[in-house]
Amino acid sequence: MDGKITIADLLVAKDKGRKIVAVSCYDYTTARLVSQTDVQMILVGDSAAQMMLGFDSTLPATMDFMVAITAAVRRGAPNVFLVADMPFLSYQVGIAEAVKNAGRFAAEAGAQMIKIEATGAYLDVVKAVSDAGIAVMAHIGIRPQSISKIGKYKAQASTAEMAAELISLAEQMVCAGASTLLIEGTAAEVSEVITGRSPVPVIGCGSGPGCHGQILIAPDILGLVQGPTPKFSKSYGDLANLIIEAFEKYTEDVKTCKFPDPEHSYHMKKGEFERLQELLSTS
C-alpha cells in the first residue's frame, strides 16, 4: 500500500481476503524497522509494562507512559496504521475520562485507533469513544487487565455456552461502534465463526488462523524473550543470543584495549597536537 495506511485500507484487505499483518511494539527503533516491511498495523500494547519495564502484568502501565511510547512509535513508523492500547484505569472510571484519554492518544501521539479490553459493561464506553470520532478496537477473549480478578489466563470459548456468549459479545461491540475486533486466546473454531459474521476486520492473537489478520509482540517474533512464552507465540529469529554475543565481544574489546581504536576516536587537526605541546612546554 502506498502512503499512510488507513482504516479504509484495512477494510479493503478484509473484503478482498488479504490477511492483515499486525505487530505490537513499543519503541522508535523497532518501529522504524517494522515500517520497512509490509506490516500494515502496529499496536502499542500495554504489554510494554512487562516487556519494557519488567513488571509481571500490564497493570502498571500509565496513560503518560503509553502516550509517550505511542508517539515514539508514530515517529518511527509514520505510514503504518497505528493503534494505541488504553491502559488500566484509563477508561474504567467513567465515560468522560475514557473519551478524554482516547483523545490524548489521537491528539498527542498520532494514533488512528485505540484499543479497549471490553466486556458488556463497557459497551457504553466503546460507543462514546466511537461517537467522539475516534476509531475503537474492541479486545475480547483473554483480557490481561483482568488478571487480578481471574487469577490466571486460560483459553476462552472452550464450551458451546462460552462460545455463544463471546459471539454475542463480538456482535454487540460492532453494534456499539467498534471498527475492529481483537480476539485473544480463543478457540480457533469460535474465532472463525466471529470472523465470518463480522463486518469489521478481526485480528487474532492466539485465536487460530481464521481471523482476518494476526498479531504478535515484536520481542517474541525476534526471539528476544528468554523463558516461557505463550503457546500461540512463534519466534522468527534468535536475537537474544546474538545480542548477548555482541555485548560479550564489546566487553572483551574494552578490557583488552581493542576498543576504541584510532578509527573510532576523534583527532586533532594535523599539526595541532605539536602546537599544543609547544604551548604546554612554555606555560
Task: Tell me, letter by letter, the H, E, C secondary structure of 203-260.
Answer: EEECCCCCCCEEEEEHHHHHCCCCCCCCCCCCCCCCHHHHHHHHHHHHHHHHHCCCCC
Is residue 17 assigned to a domain?
yes
Say whether pTM exceeds 0.85.
yes
Residue 144, pLDDT score: 86
Asked if residue 1 is part of any domain, the answer here is: no
226 and 254 both lie in a single domain: no
Contacts of 65 (CB under 8 A, 6+ apart): 48, 49, 87
- Host domain of residue 276: 243-281
Apex CA 153: angle with CA 151 and CA 154, to 5°? 120
Q: Are 249 and 187 found together in one domain?
A: no
Whether residues 68 and 191 share a domain: the answer is: yes
Residues 184 and 54 in one domain: yes
Confirm whether 222 is domain-assigned: yes
**180 and 253 share a domain?**
no
255 shares a domain with 227? no
Q: Show the beta-strand stretches assigned E in the chain.
A: 20-24, 41-44, 81-85, 113-117, 135-141, 180-184, 202-205, 213-217
Pick the catalytic residue from 97, 108, 171, 184.
184
Same-domain pairing of 257 and 204: no
Q: For 141-167, write each residue's pLDDT tens digit.
A: 999 887 666 656 688 899 999 999 999
For residue 146, CA distances in Å to 84, 117, 154, 237 come to 18, 9, 12, 31
Residue pair 39/76 in contact by the 8 Å Cβ criterion: no
Q: How far is CA 49 from CA 57, 145, 227, in A?
A: 7, 11, 17
Closest CA to 7 of 276, 201, 159: 201
Residue 85 domain flag: yes
- C-alpha 128: how far from its chain's center? 23
Q: How many structural domains does the chain have? A: 2
- Tell me, yes or no, whether 62 and 85 share the same domain: yes
Low-confidence ranges of the chain (pLDDT < 70): 1-2, 147-153
Q: What was the pLDDT predicted at 1?
A: 47
Within a domain: residue 64? yes
For residue 241, count other CB atoms closer than 10 A to its CB: 11
**Residue 245 annotated as catalytic:** no
The predicted pLDDT at position 151 comes to 56
Do 61 and 196 lie in one domain? The reply is yes
Which residues lie below 8 Å from residue 102, measured CB to CB, with a gap of 6+?
86, 91, 114, 129, 132, 134, 136
**Residue 219: cis peptide before it, omega within 30 degrees of 0:** no
Q: End-to-end distance of the chain based on CA atoms, in angstroms?
A: 67
Phi, psi for residue 281 in degrees, rounded to 5:
-75, -20
- Asked if 141 and 257 sit in the same domain, the reply is no
220 plus 128 within the same structural domain: yes
